[in-house]
Structure 1
Amino acid sequence: MKKPYQSNWFSGLLALLFALLLFFNANSSVNISNMDSGSQVYDEMLYNIPVQLNYDQDKYFVSGYEERVNVHLSSANRIQLNLESNEDTRNFQVVADLTKTPLGTSEIQLRVKGLSTAVTAEVEPKTITVTMEKKVTKSFDVEAQLPESIESEGYKVEKIAISPKTVKITTGEETAKAITRVIAPLSNVKQSVDAIKQTVNVQALDSKGQILSIENPAPQVKVVVDLTLPSKEVGLTISPTGSPPSGVEHYVFNLSEQKVEIRGTKSVLDIIDTIELPVDVSNIKSSTKQKIKIPTNADYIVSPEEIEVTINPVFAGTNNSSSETNGQSTTTSYSSQALPTSVPSSEKPASSSSTSSSSSTSSIESTAEDEIDNGSSSVPAN
Structure 2
Amino acid sequence: MKKPSQSNWFSGLLALLFSLLLFFNANSSGNLSNMSGTSQVYDEMLYNIPVQLEYDQDKYFVSGYEETVNVHLSSANRIQLNLESNEDTRNFQIVADLTKTPLGTSEIQLRVKGLSTAVTAEIEPKTITVTVENKVTKSFEVEAQLPESIETDGYKVEKTTVSPKTVDITTGEETAKAIDRVIAPLSNVKQSVDTIKQTVNVQALDTKGQVLSIENPAPQVKVVVELSLPSKEVGLTISPTGSPPANIEHYTFNLSEQKVEIRGTKSVLDAIDTIEIPVDVSNIKTSTKQKIKIPTNADYIVSPEEVEVTINPVFSGTSSSFSESSGQSTTTSYSNQELPSPLPSNEKPANSSSSSSSSSSSSTDSTGEEGVENGSSSVSAN
TM tier relative to shorter chain: 0.7 to 0.9
* Distance verdict in 2 for CA 1:291–1:11, change over 3 Å: closer
Q: How many angstroms does 1:171 deviate by?
A: 0.4
Q: Aligned partner of 1:346: which letter?
A: A
- Aligned 8 A contact 1:320 1:365 in 2: no
CA–CA distance in structure 2, aligned partners of residues 25 and 246 of structure 1: 107
DSSP 3-state at the match of 2:352:
coil
CA–CA distance in structure 1, aligned partners of residues 135 and 78 of structure 2: 45
- Aligned 8 A contact 1:286 1:369 in 2: no
CA–CA distance in structure 2, aligned partners of residues 9 and 315 of structure 1: 135
Could you list the per-position Cα deviations for residues 210-242 of structure 1 after superposition, in whole angstroms to 9, with x for gaps in the alignment?
111100010000000111111111110011122
Q: Which residue of 1 aligns with 2:270?
A: 270
Could you list the per-position Cα deviations for residues 133-167 of structure 1 after superposition, in whole angstroms to 9, with x for gaps in the alignment?
11111111111111122111111111100000000
CA–CA distance in structure 1, aligned partners of residues 78 and 152 of structure 2: 59
Alignment of 1:331-346 (within 5 A): 331-336=331-336, 338-342=338-342, 344-346=348-350
Q: Which residue of 1 aligns with 2:178?
A: 178
What's the Cα RMSD here? 3.3
Q: Which residue of 1 aligns with 2:380?
A: none
* Distance verdict in 2 for CA 1:311–1:30, change over 3 Å: closer
- Aligned 8 A contact 1:46 1:85 in 2: yes
Task: State which of 359, 364, 368 in structure 1 corresponds to 2:368.
Answer: 364
* Distance verdict in 2 for CA 1:110–1:338, change over 3 Å: closer
Q: How many angstroms does 1:355 deviate by?
A: 9.8
CA–CA distance in structure 1, aligned partners of residues 285 and 323 of structure 2: 20
- Aligned 8 A contact 1:312 1:367 in 2: no
Q: Which residue of 2 aligns with 1:236?
A: 236
DSSP 3-state at the match of 1:138:
strand
**Structure 1 residue 301 corresponds to structure 2 residue 301:** yes
Q: Which residue of 1 aligns with 2:124?
A: 124
Q: Sequence identity of aligned pairs in percent?
A: 83
Could you list the per-position Cα deviations for residues 282-324 of structure 1 after superposition, in whole angstroms to 9, with x for gaps in the alignment?
3333333322221112221111112222222223333469999
CA–CA distance in structure 2, aligned partners of residues 277 and 249 of structure 1: 21
CA–CA distance in structure 1, aligned partners of residues 54 and 161 of structure 2: 41
Q: Aligned partner of 2:136: which letter?
A: V
DSSP 3-state at the match of 2:370:
coil
Alignment of 1:144-183 (within 5 A): 144-183=144-183
CA–CA distance in structure 2, aligned partners of residues 13 and 287 of structure 1: 128
Q: Which range is displaced more, 294-303 or 95-104?
A: 294-303
What 5-or-longer segments of structure 2 have no aligned partner?
376-382
* Distance verdict in 2 for CA 1:323–1:280, change over 3 Å: closer
- Aligned 8 A contact 1:184 1:201 in 2: yes
Q: How many angstroms does 1:18 deviate by?
A: 8.0
CA–CA distance in structure 1, aligned partners of residues 75 and 216 of structure 2: 37
Could you list the per-position Cα deviations for residues 187-212 of structure 1 after superposition, in whole angstroms to 9, with x for gaps in the alignment?
11111111111111101111111111
DSSP 3-state at the match of 2:368:
coil
* Distance verdict in 2 for CA 1:370–1:126, change over 3 Å: closer
Q: Aligned partner of 2:103: which letter?
A: L
Could you list the per-position Cα deviations for residues 233-280 of structure 1 after superposition, in whole angstroms to 9, with x for gaps in the alignment?
111001112233343222222212111001112222222111111222
Q: Which range is displaced more, 137-146 or 260-269?
A: 260-269
CA–CA distance in structure 2, aligned partners of residues 349 and 109 of structure 1: 73
Q: Aligned partner of 2:67: which letter?
A: E
CA–CA distance in structure 2, aligned partners of residues 278 and 8 of structure 1: 118
**Structure 1 residue 210 corresponds to structure 2 residue 210:** yes
- Aligned 8 A contact 1:322 1:365 in 2: no
* Distance verdict in 2 for CA 1:69–1:285, change over 3 Å: same
How many pairs does the alignment contain? Answer: 364
What 5-or-longer segments of structure 1 have no aligned partner?
372-382
CA–CA distance in structure 1, aligned partners of residues 65 and 81 of structure 2: 28
Normalised by the length of structure 2, the TM-score is: 0.85
DSSP 3-state at the match of 1:79:
helix
CA–CA distance in structure 2, aligned partners of residues 154 and 370 of structure 1: 42
* Distance verdict in 2 for CA 1:369–1:34, change over 3 Å: same
CA–CA distance in structure 1, aligned partners of residues 34 and 338 of structure 2: 93
DSSP 3-state at the match of 1:366:
helix
CA–CA distance in structure 2, aligned partners of residues 243 and 300 of structure 1: 31
**Structure 1 residue 348 corresponds to structure 2 residue 346:** no
Q: Which range is displaced more, 217-226 or 313-322?
A: 313-322
* Distance verdict in 2 for CA 1:71–1:317, change over 3 Å: same
* Distance verdict in 2 for CA 1:45–1:107, change over 3 Å: same
- Aligned 8 A contact 2:202 2:221 in 1: yes
CA–CA distance in structure 2, aligned partners of residues 368 and 245 of structure 1: 27
* Distance verdict in 2 for CA 1:283–1:101, change over 3 Å: same
Alignment of 1:27-66 (within 5 A): 27-66=27-66
* Distance verdict in 2 for CA 1:92–1:251, change over 3 Å: same
CA–CA distance in structure 2, aligned partners of residues 153 and 142 of structure 1: 25
CA–CA distance in structure 2, aligned partners of residues 275 and 94 of structure 1: 64
DSSP 3-state at the match of 1:139:
strand
Could you list the per-position Cα deviations for residues 31-59 of structure 1 after superposition, in whole angstroms to 9, with x for gaps in the alignment?
33322221111111111111111111111
Alignment of 1:54-203 (within 5 A): 54-203=54-203
